[in-house]
C-alpha cells in the first residue's frame, strides 16, 4: 500500500509505518485497478471476487473444506463443486466469508464498497441505498458489516502487537446522550440538574500512534485508564491533557501533559492528533450519521480507520476491503440468522434496559 500516494501524505501520516488494513496478505498488484466502475458487469465482478478469494493460489479456486485442488465450476449458479468424491462440497467465492449468504449481486457489493470508501466522513445508509439501489435495511447492514471487518482487524492488530511504543496521543470524546425536552414549556426540566439527566452518553477513547489508531468505548473517560495502560510499552511517551484520572498512567510510562485551560500545545507536547480525530467523529455525527450512539464502537472504528487512511488512493482501498472480507471469517454481530442480527438484538436490549432505568428513576422523584 505504501507506494500509492498520488496526492502525497500528510507529515503526520508519513510518520506512521504504513501498516495496511490487510498487511498479512501478499498477492499481485491490486486487482481492483482492472475494474472500471462505470462499465462494471456481474461477470467481471465475479472474476474479481474469485481472484481475490483464492489469491493465495494464483486466483485458482480450491475446495475450502478439504483443500482439494480440482473443482468443477457450475456456470449457471456461479458456484463450484469439489471434485473429491468423498467431499463434493458446494461453494461460492463468498462462502464462509463476511459476505457469506449474500443477497446482493457481486457487482453491487463492489459498488457499495466503492461508495463506502469514497467518503471521508462516512456514508449514510440512505445515500448508499439511492446510489446502489438496495433497500434501506440492506444498506445499513452492509455498512455495519464493513465496520465489523474494521473492528475485527483492529483486534487482530492488537493481538499481533499488544503494546505501542514511541509518541502516543490519548484523549476521549463524549458522544451521544442528547436529551430532547418535552413539547410544553410547563413540562420542561432543568437538564443541568443531575436528577433530571438520563444519559446514553459514552466516551470514545482513542490512542493515536505511529501504528493504526486504536479506539474503544467506555462509560466515562476515567474508566478507560486500564485499557490505555494495557496498550502501552514501557518505552512509550504518552501525551495527555490535564484530566486527573490520567495521573495513574504516569506511574507506568513517561507522560507529557498539556493543560488545555492554558494552552493546546507547548514545546511539541500536545494531544492535537487525537483532537483532529475527535473533530472527525463530531463532524461525521453532525453531517452524515446524525447519531453515533447505539453502535458507537463500530462508527468510531470506521472513522478512526478513515483518519488513518485518508490520504490513500481509492481503488487500492476498495481492493483492501474486498480482500479483507474474503480472506476472513464470517461476521459475528452483523451476520444474518434468519433475518435476525445479533448486533441489532443487543442494541434493542440496551434500549429496553435504559428505558427501564429511566422509568425507575422517575418513580423515585
Ligand atoms: Zn472438498
* CA 83 to ligand 1 center in whole angstroms: 7
pLDDT digits (tens, 9 = 90+) for 191-236: 777 767 666 788 999 999 988 899 999 988 999 999 999 999 999 9
Using one digit for the tens of pLDDT, what is the confidence trace for 39-52? Answer: 888 988 998 999 88
In the structure, what pLDDT confidence band is assigned to residue 269 with cuts at 50, 70 and 90?
confident
pTM: 0.85
pLDDT value at residue 55: 87
Among candidates 144, 159, 204, which has minimal Cα distance to 333? 144
Q: Ligand 1: distance of its center to the CA of 339 in Å?
A: 29
Cell digits for 93? 467465492
| pLDDT tens-digit map of 63-93 | 999 999 999 998 777 899 999 999 999 999 9
Distance from Cα 92 to the centre of ligand 1, integer Å: 12
Q: Which helix (H) or strand (E) element contains residue 269?
A: strand 269-270
Strand arrangement, sheet containing 79-82: 71-74, 79-82, 90-91
pLDDT at 68: 93
Can you tell me the mean pLDDT for 157-166?
A: 89
* CA 1 to ligand 1 center in whole angstroms: 34
The domains of the chain, with CATH numbers, are 13-160+310-334 (no CATH), 166-305 (3.30.420)
Q: What value does the mean pLDDT of the chain take? A: 84
| DSSP alpha helix (H) spans, the chain | 11-15, 42-53, 106-117, 125-132, 136-160, 225-230, 247-252, 272-284, 296-309, 314-326, 342-364
Residue 23 has pLDDT above 70, yes or no: no
Distance 79 CA to ligand 1 centre (A): 13
**243, 266 in Cβ contact below 8 A?**
no
Kindly report which listed range (16-20, 35-39, 258-262) carries the lowest average pLDDT score. Answer: 16-20
Q: How confident is the model at residue 106 (pLDDT cuts 50, 70, 90)?
A: very high
Tell me if 307 sits within 8 A of 276, measured CB to CB: yes
Q: What does the CA dihedral 259, 260, 266, 271 come to, rounded to 10 degrees?
A: 100
pLDDT category of residue 9 using cuts at 50, 70 and 90: very low
Terminal-to-terminal C-alpha distance of the chain: 58
Q: How far is the CA of 323 from the centre of ligand 1 (A)?
A: 22
Q: How many CA atoms lie within 13 A of 29 on its CB side?
A: 5
Local structure of 329: helix, strand or coil = coil
User: Each residue of 306-319: pLDDT tens digit?
Assistant: 998 888 888 888 88
Q: CB within 5 A of ion ligand 1: which residues?
A: 63, 65-66, 68, 82, 84, 87, 89
CA of 139 from ligand 1 middle (Å) equals 33
Question: Which three-class secondary structure state does DSSP give residue 356?
Answer: helix
Amino acid at each position: 500500500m505504501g507506494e500509492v500516494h498520488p496526492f502525497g501524505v500528510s507529515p503526520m501520516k508519513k510518520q506512521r509505518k504504513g501498516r495496511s488494513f490487510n498487511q498479512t496478505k501478499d498477492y499481485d498488484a491490486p486487482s481492483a485497478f482492472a475494474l472500471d466502475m462505470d462499465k462494471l458487469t456481474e461477470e467481471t465482478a465475479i472474476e474479481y471476487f474469485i481472484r481475490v478469494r483464492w489469491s493465495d493460489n494464483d486466483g485458482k479456486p480450491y475446495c475450502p473444506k478439504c483443500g482439494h485442488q480440482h473443482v468443477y465450476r457450475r456456470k449457471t449458479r456461479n458456484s463450484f463443486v469439489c471434485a473429491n468424491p468423498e467431499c463434493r462440497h458446494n461453494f461460492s467465492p463468498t462462502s464462509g466469508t463476511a459476505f457469506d449468504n449474500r443477497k446482493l449481486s457481486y457487482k453491487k457489493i463492489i459498488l457499495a464498497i466503492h461508495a463506502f470508501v469514497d467518503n471521508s466522513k462516512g456514508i449514510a445508509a440512505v445515500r448508499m441505498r439511492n446510489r446502489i439501489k438496495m433497500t434501506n435495511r440492506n444498506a445499513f447492514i452492509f455498512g455495519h458489516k464493513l465496520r465489523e471487518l474494521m473492528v475485527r482487524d483492529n483486534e487482530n492488530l492488537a493481538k499481533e502487537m499488544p503494546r505501542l511504543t514511541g509518541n502516543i496521543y490519548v484523549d476521549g470524546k463524549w458522544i451521544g446522550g442528547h436529551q430532547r425536552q418535552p413539547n410544553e414549556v410547563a413540562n420542561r426540566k432543568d437538564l443541568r440538574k443531575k436528577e433530571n439527566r438520563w444519559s446514553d452518553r459514552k466516551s470514545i477513547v482513542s490512542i493515536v500512534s505511529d501504528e493504526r489508531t486504536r479506539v474503544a468505548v467506555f462509560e466515562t473517560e476515567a474508566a478507560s485508564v486500564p485499557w490505555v495502560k494495557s496498550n502501552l510499552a514501557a518505552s512509550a511517551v504518552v501525551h495527555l491533557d490535564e484530566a486527573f484520572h490520567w495521573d495513574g498512567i504516569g506511574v507506568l510510562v513517561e507522560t507529557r501533559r498539556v493543560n488545555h485551560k492554558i494552552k493546546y500545545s507547548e514545546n511539541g507536547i500536545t494531544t492535537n492528533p487525537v483532537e483532529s480525530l475527535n473533530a472527525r467523529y463530531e463532524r461525521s455525527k453532525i453531517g452524515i450519521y446524525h447519531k453515533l450512539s447505539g453502535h458507537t464502537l463500530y462508527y468510531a472504528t470506521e472513522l478512526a480507520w478513515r483518519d488513518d487512511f485518508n490520504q490513500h488512493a481509492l481503488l487500492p482501498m476498495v481492493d483492501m476491503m474486498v480482500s479483507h472480507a474474503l480472506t476472513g471469517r464470517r461476521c459475528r454481530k452483523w451476520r444474518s440468522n434468519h433475518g435476525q442480527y445479533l448486533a441489532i438484538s443487543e442494541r434493542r436490549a440496551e434500549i429496553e434496559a435504559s428505558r427501564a432505568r429511566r422509568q425507575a428513576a422517575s418513580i423515585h422523584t
